[in-house]
Amino acid sequence: MEFIYKTTPMPRRPLTTSKIMLRLLAGLLVVYAYALYQAYTFGSEYLINGILLLVVAEVVSYACEAVYALMTKQNILEIFKTSFPYITPLILVLTVPVNTSLYVIGVGTFLAVVFGKLVFGGFGQNIFNPAAVGRAIIATSFAGVVALDAITSPTLTTTLANAGWVSDSASFYYMLKDFGGLGSVLTGDYFAAMGETNTLLILVVGVLLSIFDVIDFRIPLTYLGVMFLGATVIALVSGLGIDYPITFISTGGAAFGAVFMLTDPVTNPQTRPGKIVFSALAALFTIAIRFLGNLPEGVIFSILLVNMISPVINRIFANKQVDSIKRNIIITFATIIVSILILVIIGTSVEKGTYKENTFKKFDPNAETGLAADDYSSCKAKVTDLGDGKYHVTVRGFHAIEDGGPDNEFDIVVKDGKVVSVECTVFSDTKGIGDAAISEDALSELVGVDLSSEVDTMSGCTYTSRSVVAAIQAALKEAR
Amino acid sequence: MAFLIGPMQHHIEGHKEITEANEIIKIGTDEVAISLSIGAHIATPTVQVGDRVKIGDLIGKRDDRFYVPIFSSVSGEVVAIEKRMSASLKPSDHVIIKKDDTDEFKDFEKLSLDASKEEIIAYMKTIGLLGQGGAGFPSYIKYATDKCETLIINAVECEPYITADVRNIEEHLDEFKYGVMLMLKASNASKCFVAMKSFHKETIEKLIKLFEDEEKIVVKPVKDVYPMGWERTLTYEVLKKRYDKLPIEAGAIVSNATSAITLGSTALSGRYCYERIVTVSGDNINNPHNVICRIGTPISKLIEACGGVKEDRAIIIMGGPMMGTCVTKDIVTITPISNAVNIFKEQHFKEYACLRCGRCVEHCPSSLMPVSIIEAYKFNDIAELEKLHVSDCVECGMCTFICPSKIEVTESIRRAKKLLAARKR
């Protein structure tokens, strides 16, 4: 028999860091799956971009870790196993909109992994949440080029921020109605960052992750709780209903940040009172940025701020917990109450914003652009199909609109959705002014126009010009 | 409070079923090596080579801060007094006695239940009663107080694998009762709790029956968590009171169940308890059993009686797998406070970077901050170590057990404790 020396204890709990990370991955994938489903409802190109975003981010993350392993002369596979490179890019992807360009997510992931994680010495050594670092850099440096296409639909967060986080009751309910009511707000049925919209789903995943011992529920509970209670008081003062606090914690990725980013244990204090104070302060920072700052987005920056003061919080509670329990309870509850009070003071003292009905357009990727979307309803075009792609259009011009005179009339030939020829058969507007718009040169400019073209009207003869374009729009719509 | 501190305890797979129901194997020996070092006590021999001793003869004693006598467990001739490795991993004096077949006893006096508090305490001192849960604190010092309101008999046995206490109780119910009654009288307490893990249902029923006529004595089933058997955790569980240094600050005395049996058995028979029940278990022994053997039997005999090891490379732990000490020689012998010999296979755990998740903080039964202690230790920060109360660590092993990154937290804290102790000196 050979005796081996081994210090006690011998038994080990079956839960390993690797298992914790896999469970977290599972939770994130649930949110990601829903995000992909939502992207699919926007169109298959969004679904593909949503998938590619993760692929690019993961490849960049693994590549960074591999280079780091080579530079520090460590085994690459060993680093892959112990550094959990798959988490940061997934979180980062979930914090950006689905139409983000692949270039931006690639650069963002690189910066997140290198400057958020590896420069500190890799997994377990980082001061800041790496994904939050990446997101903050994207938000501040790539704000103009984040989007892949021209969709610049206002998100609920930017709408709230622009209207003023605190608005009068009527404004708030207009806004809520515009976003499809409380149900849509809770389930994230609107366009925003991929992972942050479905608050209900995130909270369910959060509960499961707490049950499976992955995250400490005290962190999201305190963070969202402080925000919720503060917003409730503001709602009572401002005459708003319970919808206000619910909307308040459902927007801007608050739930996503609370469940998946604030809970990153590496950047938390170790003690439970520390974690609660940490979360309460994060809520306070989020609100301060929302109410007083220029940025619409408070969550990411508040996470980075509390990450920074986490060691200080840890020091405050660095003692024998049982001996200092009274002191710890007092500090913890005092922080929560003071945070809520400050929130209420800020919330009730900021200038109330207003919001007008129906200024919001819900994101619709199938919405028409170009000529098809232009509004020429005032011209009241009437189309008669003459066959063989030829259309006769009567449309109101200057005289018809201004003093009830006769309409202008056009014959338009359309082939394959494009204008082949335009001819003015009846011209009722002012000669010498309006006829510039129906000159041969002007009309030949319109040949080849289709419904997606951007067509400008001519200045100087606006009414007549509008009547021509309205006629073309009507004929093209009739022809399709 | 747990909401803000943490559970300070956790369930650990007990593996007690592999020895609990098995018969107790009696192990004979023709020679014993009685260690004069028991726990923290280092005694000097009072016999010489060539002396003939009976069972219960004094062969060594500690006489500096405490008086601790050590008795012979066999009758026979002292053949050597030599330094050997003891369970405390230090070479210490062992009295080696060749056993003859006479089994002659040097009798103590018996003790009746009419004895006074002072008489019982004096008796504890005479028979050298120690806390047999592992610490080996002399009982007569513990009971010399008039502040005790509650006596807690600790039959929790929270370490995995060990079933020696519960088997000992089952085998010696009368002695146990007698010992508990004497302890109750010595403590002058108004209430006595006999704490045992709730899953020992049959034993608990037997105990309830045993104590049904005694109003003051209550059988208290406790949760199956570690370290429920630690007196601080147990006192809090039973009385909901915390204390600074000793349980008596909370008005309690905590005594181990095997100590009660030793006291009861000696008081009833007037004879030294020369044997003890030891659990031989672990994942690397062929036939795990409880064995009964003379004090001073080398563990090689115990391992042999239990069918030897499964894998040749073996880790031998004297005591429980959480707090016991790993020994690297099988000539180490059984002392009155040895409750188990656990043999394990070599094991490897993949170590990850510390997550700083704080699970060790939440589960530490002393509510210390192991992560911060390790950081302070790395930077040799003595003032910080003191501020973090590192000396309050009892090395229960919870932090290493609970760590998801499989870091040897407890070992680092042991070193930090040693560093602080060395600097303070």
- Mean pLDDT along residues B115-127: 93
Tell me: do A380 and A248 sit in the same domain: no
Asked if A325's CB is within 8 angstroms of B4's CB, the reply is: yes
Q: Is A45's pLDDT higher than 90?
A: no
A310-340 pLDDT, tens digit per residue, is: 999 999 998 888 888 899 999 999 999 999 9
- Please tell me which residue of chain A has the smallest CA distance to B316: A3
* Domain termination site, one of A335, A365, A395: A365
Q: Is A362's pLDDT higher than 60?
A: no
Sheet harboring B44-45: ordered strands across?
Answer: B44-45, B58-62, B68-71
Q: Would residue B49 count as lying in a domain?
A: yes
Q: Would residue B13 count as lying in a domain?
A: no
Tell me: do B172 and B292 sit in the same domain: no
Tell me: do A144 and A242 sit in the same domain: no
Q: Is A152's pLDDT higher than 60?
A: no
Return the residue in B367, B379, B391, B407 with the most chain A beta carbons within 10 A, the one to mutate for interface testing: B367
Tell me: do A301 and A259 sit in the same domain: yes
Tell me: do B155 and B286 sit in the same domain: no
Cβ-nearest to B314 among A3, A123, A272: A3
User: Looking at residue B354, what is its pLDDT?
Assistant: 92
Tell me: do B130 and B203 sit in the same domain: yes
Tell me: do B388 and B372 sit in the same domain: yes
> CATH number for the domain including B82?
3.10.20.600
User: Looking at residue A180, what is its pLDDT?
Assistant: 76
Measure the CA–CA gap between A348 and A38, rounded to whole angstroms: 36
Residues of chain A contacting B362 with CB distance shorter than 8 Å = 272
Q: Is B107's pLDDT higher than 90?
A: no
Categorize the per-residue pLDDT at B178 as very low, low, confident or very high, splitting at 50, 70 and 90.
Answer: very high
- Please tell me which residue of chain A has the smallest CA distance to B411: A7
Q: Is A149's pLDDT higher than 50?
A: no
Tell me: do A212 and A349 sit in the same domain: yes
Return the residue in A84, A322, A331 with the most chain B beta carbons within 10 A, the one to mutate for interface testing: A322
Categorize the per-residue pLDDT at A229 as very low, low, confident or very high, splitting at 50, 70 and 90.
Answer: very high
Structural domain span for residue A143: 16-152
User: To the nearest whole percent, how much of chain A has pLDDT over 90?
Assistant: 41
What are the Cα distances from residue B139, in Å, to B132, B175, B277? 10, 17, 20
Tell me: do B132 and B259 sit in the same domain: yes
CB-CB contact of A428 with A400 (8 Å): yes
Measure the CA–CA gap between A23 and A86, rounded to whole angstroms: 12
Tell me: do B79 and B125 sit in the same domain: no
Task: Work out the minimum CA distance from B170 to partner chain A, whole angstroms.
Answer: 27
Q: Which of A52-56, A137-141, B93-97, B246-250 has the lowest mean pLDDT?
A: A137-141
Q: Would residue B6 count as lying in a domain?
A: no
Residues of chain A contacting B355 with CB distance shorter than 8 Å = 17, 20, 124, 265-266
Cβ-nearest to A17 among B308, B367, B405: B405
User: Looking at residue A366, what is its pLDDT?
Assistant: 57
DSSP A85: T
B373-388 pLDDT, tens digit per residue, is: 999 999 999 999 999 9
Q: Is B295's pLDDT higher than 80?
A: yes
B34-73: burial string, b at 16+ Cβ within 10 Å, e else:
bbbbbbebbbebbbeeebebbbbbbbbbbeeeeebbbbbb
Tell me: do A136 and A236 sit in the same domain: no
* Domain termination site, one of A94, A117, A152: A152
Task: Work out the minimum CA distance from B68 to partner chain A, whole angstroms.
Answer: 28
Q: Would residue A426 count as lying in a domain?
A: yes
Return the residue in B299, B332, B352, B372 with the most chain A beta carbons within 10 A, the one to mutate for interface testing: B352
Tell me: do B123 and B253 sit in the same domain: yes
Q: How many domains does chain B have?
A: 3
Asked if A275's CB is within 8 angstroms of B353's CB, the reply is: no
Tell me: do B141 and B239 sit in the same domain: yes
Q: What is the mean pLDDT of chain B?
A: 92
Tell me: do A188 and A281 sit in the same domain: yes
Tell me: do B239 and B121 sit in the same domain: yes
Q: Is A427's pLDDT higher than 50?
A: yes
Q: Would residue B1 count as lying in a domain?
A: no
Q: Would residue A164 count as lying in a domain?
A: yes
CB pairs under 8 A between A and B: 172
Query: Which residues in A354-475 belong to E strands, given as ranges?
Result: 382-387, 390-395, 408-415, 418-426
* Domain termination site, one of A108, A128, A152: A152
Q: What is the dihedral of CA A225, A229, A235, A236, to 10 degrees?
A: 150
Structural domain span for residue B207: 117-269
- Please tell me which residue of chain B has the smallest CA distance to A310: B356
Tell me: do B263 and B277 sit in the same domain: no
Nearest of A358, A236, A321, A130 to residue B367 by alpha carbon: A321
Residues of chain B contacting A122 with CB distance shorter than 8 Å = 353
- Mean pLDDT along residues B194-202: 94
Task: Work out the minimum CA distance from B331 to partner chain A, whole angstroms.
Answer: 12
Tell me: do B60 and B102 sit in the same domain: yes
Q: Would residue B16 count as lying in a domain?
A: no
B132-161 pLDDT, tens digit per residue, is: 877 788 999 999 998 899 999 999 999 999
Categorize the per-residue pLDDT at A150 as very low, low, confident or very high, splitting at 50, 70 and 90.
Answer: very low
* Domain termination site, one of B269, B295, B319: B269
Q: Is A361's pLDDT higher than 60?
A: no
Task: Work out the minimum CA distance from A328 to partner chain B, whole angstroms.
Answer: 8
Tell me: do A228 and A241 sit in the same domain: yes
Q: How many domains does chain A have?
A: 3
Q: Would residue B4 count as lying in a domain?
A: no
Q: Greater confidence, B175 or A446?
A: B175
Q: Would residue A32 count as lying in a domain?
A: yes
Q: Greater confidence, A45 or A274?
A: A274
Q: Is B113's pLDDT higher than 60?
A: yes
Question: pTM, whole model, 2 decimals?
Answer: 0.84
User: Looking at residue A296, what is its pLDDT?
Assistant: 64
Tell me: do B263 and B278 sit in the same domain: no
Task: Work out the minimum CA distance from B387 to partner chain A, whole angstroms.
Answer: 7
User: Looking at residue A193, what is its pLDDT?
Assistant: 82
